[in-house]
């Protein structure tokens, strides 16, 4: 039993490494991460906008946590679009599914590889925190607890977007189609319910509909407060889309 578990763990880790290498060997991967860091850096430090940290005179990273979800709407689909679409197009999906791994284990290996890549793109922004920490008057005049809480919220949001992107990639053998589907689904779940809740048609149900959207829970966590309800919501979104991906892969047997 233990030996079989070790084989499964090794197989999952091998697939995990393959996904990481595949992304890092692609120019698109580096472009996606560089564009994310460039856009965020420009808005936070260079461009004369309300998001510019040096101009607004406030030692905080609120602008980062407002901008990052919108950039992630495009960055994460760019990372996940290859997950299954590329396997289908190359004709290697059947070979992959014959490995000594269940469909769920294959999905999880690809999912965690994509989350790791998103984390790679997010880690360099910690430099901004230390920069503001040093630039504050006095030094260290920044809400560190709130900032790290917001980072946790952003990580949960990115993890949810990744699960959505993996699902979108399983629907098509065309990477561009998978990208567009992922962008649409992420956008709708992020902000769509907020617009729907504003309609007079739903009346008192507006608050409930608003709570179905990702943005409502992300805004809550961006205050630096980690609420169990928000964590459960994100885990539910991730679980639902992973199970939907599993159902899509299993449909080949029907």
CA nearest 166: which of 186, 152, 193, 191?
186
Q: Give the percent of the chain with pLDDT over 70.
A: 83
Does 232 have pLDDT greater than 90? yes
Main-chain phi, psi angles of 172, to 5 degrees:
-145, 155
pLDDT for 189 equals 92
Most confident of 21-30, 41-50, 140-149, 243-252: 243-252
Count of domains observed in the chain: 1
Residue 52: DSSP 8-state: -
pLDDT for 188 equals 93
By residue range, what is the domain housing residue 246? 2-253
CA atoms of 159 and 113, how far apart (whole Å): 11
pTM over 0.75: yes
CA atoms of 220 and 112, how far apart (whole Å): 25
Mean pLDDT confidence for 193-205: 75
What is the distance of C-alpha 232 from the center of its chain? Answer: 16
Q: Buried b vs exposed e over 43-62: b needs ≥16 C-beta within 10 Å?
A: bbeeeeeebebeeeeebbbb
pLDDT for 23 equals 77
CA nearest 162: which of 189, 138, 194?
189
Mean pLDDT confidence for 160-169: 94
Cβ-proximal residues to 40 (8 Å cutoff; 6+ apart), any chain: 64, 67, 68, 71, 125
Mean pLDDT confidence for 1-13: 60
Residue 46: DSSP 8-state: I
Does 54 have pLDDT greater than 80? no
Mean pLDDT confidence for 76-81: 88
To the nearest whole number, what is the mean pLDDT of the chain?
A: 81
């Amino acid at each position: 039993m233990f030996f079989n578990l070790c084989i499964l763990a090794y197989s999952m880790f091998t697939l995990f490494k393959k996904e990481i290498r595949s992304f890092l060997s692609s120019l698109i991967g580096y472009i996606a991460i560089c564009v994310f860091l460039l856009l965020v850096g420009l808005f936070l430090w260079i461009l004369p906008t309300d998001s510019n940290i040096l101009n607004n005179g406030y030692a905080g990273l609120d602008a980062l946590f407002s901008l990052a979800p919108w950039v992630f709407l495009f960055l994460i689909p760019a990372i996940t679009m290859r997950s299954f679409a590329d396997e289908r197009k190359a004709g290697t999906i059947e070979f992959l599914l014959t490995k000594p791994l269940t469909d769920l284990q294959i999905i999880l290996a690809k999912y965690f590889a994509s989350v790791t890549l998103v984390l790679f793109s997010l880690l360099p922004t910690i430099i901004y925190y230390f920069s503001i920490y040093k630039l504050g008057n006095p030094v260290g005049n920044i809400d560190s607890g709130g900032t790290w809480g917001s980072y946790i919220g952003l990580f949960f949001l990115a993890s949810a977007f990744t699960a959505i992107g993996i699902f979108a990639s399983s629907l098509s053998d065309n990477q561009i189609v998978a990208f567009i589907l992922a962008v649409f689904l992420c956008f709708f779940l992020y902000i769509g319910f907020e617009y729907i809740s504003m309609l007079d048609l739903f009346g008192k149900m507006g608050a409930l509909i608003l709570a179905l959207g990702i943005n409502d829970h992300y805004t809550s966590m961006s205050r630096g407060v980690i609420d169990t309800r928000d964590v459960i919501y994100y885990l539910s979104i991730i679980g639902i889309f992973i199970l939907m991906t599993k159902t899509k892969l299993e449909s080949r047997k029907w």
